Amino acid sequence: MDATSTPRPADPAISVVIPTYNRRDNLAAALRSVLMQDGDVPYEVVVVDNNSTDGTAEVVLQYAEESSRHVRYFREGRQGAAHARNAGLALASASLIAFVDDDVRVARDWVTTTWRALTDNPDVDYVGGRVLPDPTAHRPSWLTDGHWSPLAILDYGDSPRYISAADPCVMLGANLAIRRAILDRVGQFVAAFQHLRNTVCGGAEDHELQLRIWAAGGRGLYVPDMVVTADIPPERLTKRYHRRWHSEHGILCSRMRVEEMIGNSGELLPDRQDDLQLFGAPAWLFRRWLRAFSQCLLQGIRGHEALMFAHETRVRYYTNYIRTRFRDTQSQRPDGWRGELGRFVIALLKKKLRLYAGVAASSQTRTHGDISPSAAVAASHLAHAEQARVHDGSSALEH
């Protein structure tokens, strides 16, 4: 089903796409905020109904009839946010496409701010902004700003910030605008990473798309004045919800191999770090798991509830990341997990021996001078290289 309201502007500067599924009341508030914009930037609105059964179509058509803006309604039969967003892309007329979710309300200057950010910065491929929580929502004491990701909330501060492979901070699809040209280069949203039925994690199709943009040399811009406000359902303010979200997010990030893509300084690496693995996961990831687990216990003993829970969610994330890698690489394990564990132990011992030999050779040179300068330099480089390959930084892609 495809329906339109007022005639489309001759040349809309930007197309606003709103995917929706069974949230007619939230959608009404979101649509109202998008249609009541200040400024004179010509734009159109495309609402993609993803098989709603709650009367969503009637809500959209009512607003379309009452508004002087061009509103288009389309029903997408393939379930999932990625399919809905791609359908909106196909229907959009402008070369600049802005996405908002059906449970947010945009600021009165949102269209103008978004359009100006892209036109004033022709060197960026996309822009994103703040997704702030409804200020009336009550937060429990343990729910600090570090727990915003499961709430689909984002705030990188008051200053604009370029985003690229050198600083890969993820923008949320709830407040994101992209040039059609970059989508023609790297492709659209991938359904394999969208929200799955009976899960609470909202999917990672927007995250995965930005990874491809960075890998292609593209970059984005964080625009602090590009603001939307999000509703926070009461169930998202429970520890049970957060535990489940981080577990499911670990699965999605494992399938994208996110952890292997990030360098020690938080930069996106051109090649994945696959040098020493156990069960398909990098060895240093097990050390991160152990550190998070020990910190969870320590903070629990000290009575720091917020810190303990933060480390607990990291344990759940790493556990499911590693478990997913184990399952996805089973076909590459002909002699079973015991055989892989044995090979890993041998490889680890060899690595430690090489590291020890390099350090010992360097030390002997400084003490006795019985090794040539070139050999000493080579040994020192080997030692530093081995240490650098033990990846122990934390990912710049917050989960």
Is 32 strand, coil or helix? helix
Residue 11 has pLDDT above 90, yes or no: no
336 belongs to a structural domain: no
- Any idea which residue has 């249609």 for tokens? 35
Lowest mean pLDDT among 37-46, 95-104, 200-209, 331-340: 331-340
Is 17 strand, coil or helix? strand
Helix (H) or strand (E) holding 83: helix 81-91
370 belongs to a structural domain: no
257 belongs to a structural domain: no
Where residue 210 falls among pLDDT bands split at 50, 70, 90? very high
60 CB-near residues (< 8 Å, 6+ apart): 27, 31, 47, 49, 71, 73
DSSP 393: P
Is 301 strand, coil or helix? helix
228 belongs to a structural domain: yes
| pTM of the shown model | 0.77
Residue 121 has pLDDT above 90, yes or no: yes
256 belongs to a structural domain: no
Higher pLDDT among residues 118 and 234, named by residue: 118
Q: Say if residues 316 and 283 touch (Cβ distance below 8 Å).
A: no
200 belongs to a structural domain: yes
DSSP-derived pairing of the beta strands 220-230 and 126-133:
parallel
Model pLDDT, residue 381 = 40
Q: What would the pLDDT profile of 40-74 be if each residue is shown by its tens digit?
A: 999 999 999 999 999 999 999 998 888 888 899 99
12 belongs to a structural domain: yes
Its domain, for residue 201, covers 2-233
Lowest mean pLDDT among 19-33, 155-169, 237-251, 326-340: 326-340
- Residue 27 has which token pair? 């959608």
The CA-CA-CA angle for residues 64, 36, 8, to 5°, reads 45
> What proportion of the chain, given as a percentage, has pLDDT over 90?
52
Mean confidence (pLDDT) of the chain: 83
Structurally, the chain folds into a number of domains equal to 1
Helix (H) or strand (E) holding 34: helix 24-35
Model pLDDT, residue 300 = 94
Model pLDDT, residue 258 = 82
Where residue 9 falls among pLDDT bands split at 50, 70, 90? low
Model pLDDT, residue 71 = 93
Helix (H) or strand (E) holding 342: helix 336-368
Model pLDDT, residue 397 = 43
324 belongs to a structural domain: no
Higher pLDDT among residues 340 and 393, named by residue: 340
The dihedral sign for the CA sequence 257, 347, 291, 241: positive
CATH number, domain containing residue 212: 3.90.550.10
| Average of per-residue pLDDT across 305-334 | 89
Q: What would the pLDDT profile of 258-290 be if each residue is shown by its tens digit?
A: 888 777 767 777 766 556 777 778 888 888 999
Residue 199 has pLDDT above 80, yes or no: no
